[in-house]
């Protein structure tokens, strides 16, 4: 599993300061994708467990959530990374263009964003979006948190 970048983000998971890992190799390849550089799995740098743990340790106590933009195509590795994050006290979130993910992965998540990008429908900040931001334990859709009043 390769990552393109690691950032601290504030808007992708409402109410959380998230460590965001952008993973390369996305097979969904949505038309109009703003991150098409993530399609090639050979782009980026290998995310080793050592690097991953050092990033989580560095931001533990500051960030509250670990967010992966993609990576579900590396099921076992991603599942393990979410388990590590949970054991360190982080909430977990996956952004995927898929509409469903394997249960093995889903049980490790606090939040899940599903659905491909469809330009005419917009993203989570659009009332007509096809995408869903879900609190996994309750299965509650939290899209309203992205809408401006």
- CATH code where residue 35 lies: 3.20.20.70
CA distance 117 to 124: 10
Q: What's the confidence (pLDDT) of residue 38? A: 74
Q: What's the confidence (pLDDT) of residue 25? A: 86
Domain extent for 87: 2-146
Q: What's the confidence (pLDDT) of residue 140? A: 97
User: 79: closest CA among 102, 56, 112?
Assistant: 102
How many domains does the chain contain in total? 1
CA distance 98 to 22: 16
Q: What's the confidence (pLDDT) of residue 36? A: 61
Q: What's the confidence (pLDDT) of residue 28? A: 78
* 35 or 102: which leads in pLDDT: 102
pLDDT score of 119 more than 70: yes
pLDDT confidence bin for 40, thresholds 50/70/90: confident
pTM of the predicted structure, to 2 decimals: 0.94
Given a contact cutoff of 8 angstroms between Cβ atoms, the answer to whether 40 and 24 are in contact is yes
| 60's tokens | 């533990």
Work out the average pLDDT over 133-140: 97
* Angle, CA of 31, 35 and 40, to the nearest 5°: 90
Report the mean per-residue pLDDT for the chain. Answer: 93
pLDDT confidence bin for 103, thresholds 50/70/90: very high
* Angle, CA of 19, 52 and 35, to the nearest 5°: 55
CA distance 32 to 105: 27
* Angle, CA of 79, 94 and 43, to the nearest 5°: 85
The sheet with strand 132-135 has its strands ordered as 45-46, 2-9, 18-23, 65-69, 91-95, 111-114, 132-135, 140-141
| 92's tokens | 């977990």
Q: What's the confidence (pLDDT) of residue 69? A: 94
Burial class (CB in 10 A: 0-12, 13-18, 19+), 80: middle
């Amino acid at each position: 599993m390769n990552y393109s970048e690691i950032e601290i983000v504030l808007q992708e998971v409402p109410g959380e300061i998230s460590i965001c890992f952008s993973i390369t190799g996305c097979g969904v390849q949505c038309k109009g994708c703003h991150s098409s550089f993530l399609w090639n799995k050979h782009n980026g740098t290998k995310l080793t467990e050592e690097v991953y743990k050092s990033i989580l340790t560095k931001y533990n106590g500051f960030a509250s959530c670990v967010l992966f933009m993609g990576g579900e195509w590396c099921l076992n590795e991603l599942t393990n990374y979410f388990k590590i994050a949970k054991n360190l006290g982080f909430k977990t979130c996956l952004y995927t263009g898929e509409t469903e993910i394997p249960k093995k992965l889903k049980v490790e998540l606090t939040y899940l964003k599903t659905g491909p990008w469809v330009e005419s429908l917009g993203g989570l900040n659009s009332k007509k979006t096809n995408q869903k931001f879900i609190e996994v334990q309750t299965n509650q859709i939290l899209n309203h948190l992205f809408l401006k009043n």
